[in-house]
């Protein structure tokens, strides 16, 4: 039986200059971390490709392949078979390996890439020869050079030749951790997990900040947020979820301020607490799932009022997406089904009937002047606890500072 390997092709890493080795090291480190939970794989890189090779016949290549598809930094990934760099060896490998991969398809195309320029045949000739072998082995197939059902590829590389079919898109982006660390304001909704994923794709490690309002919000609501964090760990490795209670702040707002300003005032408190969390946890940016105009607190005027208290850059990767686009991405990354569980978060507590959509900062600050903001912020801060959520581990049942 032929042993499969996994080929992972770089995406925008090929555009990096003198610091490319740093990106490559982070990428390989992430692959090795995942491989350690699956089996014994050799991982090496050359010519803008990472090669993942099982070291015994018992390794679960399919499980490793599914993990590789969630690693940021690759434009494409595929399972392949390796053989010696001779046409006879390539023909033999094609006959043995490709029929199973091509079963069920009607049309195909064959492509070749000759990275080793010493190989005697050029790429078009290699493709034509291997295509002929495929047609002999599977006479029910036909060639379609324009819109094939599947593409067979032959790659003549530095040490070996590789044959594969059905190359898939990789996760894209740049390696996790290459961009620093951001603090995701993680609610129980659809948008914020998508925002966290999108910024992790741009190289950020993710910490999360969740606001709870017990007893107005339930234990199930907090468990839902931890499950969302756990689902994001499929891409982000580990997320430390910092939880702060806003119960008393919300009660004071209800009793002291005009109803139409509740949400704006609450979000300013959130931003202040996010500032402090980011500073203590060494994050260099805040991340939110806001989409412009989606709700009253996400109008341009409302965002400006909120950002007035921000001391860190606020990254909003969903800002130009509509709800349908965000839902589609949530389904793709596997968070949607959890996000729609019917456990409400703190933003649904004491929601004003007619919130301000075009607020004036001066009037918002007049409302804040009725409050002892420093005391309220300190009380909320004292409630903070942290739950460390990690890929390949169960969500902790007991919570507290870690």
pLDDT in tens, 233-243: 999 999 999 99
- Say what the pLDDT of residue 277 is: 98
Q: For 122-179, write each residue's pLDDT tens digit.
A: 999 999 999 999 999 999 999 999 999 999 999 999 889 999 999 999 999 999 999 9
Phi, psi of 346 (to 5 degrees): -65, -25
Query: Of 300, 305, 241, nearest to 267 (Cα)?
Result: 305
Last residue of a domain, one of 169, 204, 238: 169
Percent of the chain clearing pLDDT 70 (strictly above): 99
* Integer Cα distance of 46 and 48 in angstroms: 6
Is residue 375's pLDDT more than 50? yes
158 and 184 share one domain: no
Residue showing tokens 């969390």: 277
111 and 188 share one domain: no
* Integer Cα distance of 23 and 16 in angstroms: 8
* Integer Cα distance of 164 and 266 in angstroms: 55
- Say what the pLDDT of residue 399 is: 62
Angle between helices 191-200 and 323-333 in degrees, nearest 10:
70
Residues 6+ apart with CB under 8 A from 276: 377, 381
Pure H helices in 103-218: 123-137, 191-200
CA 90 from centre of chain: 37
The mean of the pLDDT values for the chain is 94
Q: What is the mean pLDDT of residues 321-336?
A: 98
Phi, psi of 104 (to 5 degrees): 95, -15
* Integer Cα distance of 149 and 128 in angstroms: 18
377 vs 357, higher pLDDT: 377
CA dihedral sign of residues 97, 100, 101, 104: positive
Last residue of a domain, one of 109, 139, 169: 169
Q: Provide the pLDDT confidence category of residue 401 given band limits of 50, 70 and 90.
A: very low
- Say what the pLDDT of residue 179 is: 93
Q: What is the mean pLDDT of residues 273-296?
A: 96
| Under 8 Å between Cβ of 149 and 104 | no
- Say what the pLDDT of residue 1 is: 55
The three-state secondary structure class of 398 is: coil
101 and 246 share one domain: no
44 and 69 share one domain: yes
46 vs 54, higher pLDDT: 54
- Say what the pLDDT of residue 329 is: 98
Q: Which domain holds residue 358?
A: 180-390
Is 400 within the bounds of a domain? no
CATH number, domain containing residue 279 = 3.40.50.620
Q: Provide the pLDDT confidence category of residue 394 given band limits of 50, 70 and 90.
A: very high
Is 204 within the bounds of a domain? yes
- Here the tokens at position 208 are 């999360």
Q: Provide the pLDDT confidence category of residue 197 given band limits of 50, 70 and 90.
A: very high
- Say what the pLDDT of residue 351 is: 80
Is residue 97's pLDDT more than 90? yes
User: In this structure, are strands 314-315 and 286-287 parallel, antiparallel, or unpaired?
Assistant: parallel
159 and 185 share one domain: no
- Say what the pLDDT of residue 349 is: 73
Last residue of a domain, one of 140, 169, 198: 169
Rg for the chain, CA atoms, rounded:
26
* Integer Cα distance of 217 and 342 in angstroms: 11
pTM: 0.93
277 and 150 share one domain: no
* Integer Cα distance of 176 and 147 in angstroms: 35
| Under 8 Å between Cβ of 21 and 29 | no
Is 28 within the bounds of a domain? yes
Is 395 within the bounds of a domain? no
Note every long-range contact of 295-300, with CB atoms under 8 Å and residues 24 or more positions apart, other chains counting. Answer: 296/263, 296/355, 296/356, 296/357, 297/263, 297/264, 297/267, 297/355, 299/357, 299/358
CA dihedral sign of residues 118, 124, 129, 134: positive
228 and 375 share one domain: yes
Domain count, the chain: 2
191 and 165 share one domain: no
| Under 8 Å between Cβ of 208 and 241 | yes
Is 396 within the bounds of a domain? no
81 and 185 share one domain: no
Is 363 within the bounds of a domain? yes
* Integer Cα distance of 116 and 47 in angstroms: 11
- Here the tokens at position 81 are 């078979």
- Say what the pLDDT of residue 94 is: 97
| Under 8 Å between Cβ of 67 and 34 | yes
For residue 215, say if its preceding peptide bond is cis, omega within 30 degrees of 0: yes
DSSP structure class, residue 106:
S
CATH number, domain containing residue 107 = 3.30.2130.30
Is 368 within the bounds of a domain? yes
Most confident of 271-275, 293-297, 300-304: 271-275
Residues 6+ apart with CB under 8 A from 328: none
| Under 8 Å between Cβ of 293 and 229 | no
292 and 204 share one domain: yes
15 vs 172, higher pLDDT: 172
Q: Provide the pLDDT confidence category of residue 402 given band limits of 50, 70 and 90.
A: very low
236 and 281 share one domain: yes
76 vs 400, higher pLDDT: 76
25 and 104 share one domain: yes
Q: For 334-373, write each residue's pLDDT tens digit.
A: 999 999 998 877 777 778 788 888 999 999 999 999 999 9
Q: Which residues share a beta bridge with 161?
A: 83, 156
* Integer Cα distance of 17 and 293 in angstroms: 39
Per-residue burial over 65-75, b = 16 or more CB atoms within 10 Å of its CB, e = otherwise: bebbbbbbbbb
Is residue 73's pLDDT more than 60? yes
């Amino acid at each position: 039986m032929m042993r499969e390997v996994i080929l992972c092709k770089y995406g925008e890493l090929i555009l990096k200059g003198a610091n490319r080795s740093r990106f490559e090291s982070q990428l390989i480190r992430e692959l090795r971390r995942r491989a350690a939970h699956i089996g014994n794989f050799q991982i090496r890189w050359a010519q803008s490709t990472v090669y993942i090779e099982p070291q015994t016949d018992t390794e679960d290549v399919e499980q490793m392949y599914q993990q590789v598809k969630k690693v940021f930094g690759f434009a494409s990934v595929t399972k392949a078979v390796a053989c010696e760099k001779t046409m006879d060896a390539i023909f033999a490998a094609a006959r043995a390996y490709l029929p199973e991969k091509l079963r069920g398809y009607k049309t195909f195309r064959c492509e070749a890439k000759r990275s080793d320029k010493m190989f005697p045949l050029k790429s078009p000739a290699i493709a034509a020869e291997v295509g002929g072998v495929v047609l002999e082995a599977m006479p029910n197939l036909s060639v379609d050079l324009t819109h094939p059902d599947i593409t067979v590829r032959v790659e003549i590389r530095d040490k070996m030749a590789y044959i594969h079919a059905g190359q898939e898109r990789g996760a894209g982006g740049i390696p996790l951790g290459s961009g620093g660390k951001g603090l995701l304001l993680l609610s129980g909704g659809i948008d914020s997990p998508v925002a966290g994923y999108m910024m992790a794709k741009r190289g950020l490690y993710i910490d999360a900040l969740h606001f709870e309002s017990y007893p107005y919000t339930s234990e199930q609501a907090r468990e839902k947020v931890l499950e969302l964090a756990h689902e994001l760990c499929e891409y982000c490795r580990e997320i430390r979820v910092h939880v702060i209670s806003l119960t008393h702040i919300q009660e004071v707002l209800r009793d002291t301020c005009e109803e139409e300003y509740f949400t704006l005032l609450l979000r300013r408190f959130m931003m202040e607490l996010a500032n402090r969390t980011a500073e203590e946890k060494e994050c260099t940016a805040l991340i939110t799932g806001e989409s412009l105009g989606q709700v009253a607190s996400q109008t341009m005027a409302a965002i400006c009022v909120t950002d007035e208290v921000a001391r860190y850059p606020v990254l909003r990767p969903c800002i130009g997406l509509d709800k349908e686009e965000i839902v589609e991405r949530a389904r793709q990354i596997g968070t949607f089904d959890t996000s729609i569980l019917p456990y409400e978060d703190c933003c649904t507590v004491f929601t004003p009937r007619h919130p301000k959509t075009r607020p004036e900062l001066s009037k918002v600050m007049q409302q804040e002047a009725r409050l002892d903001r420093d005391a309220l912020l300190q009380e909320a801060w004292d409630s903070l606890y942290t739950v460390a959520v990690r890929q390949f581990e169960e969500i902790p049942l007991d919570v507290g500072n870690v």
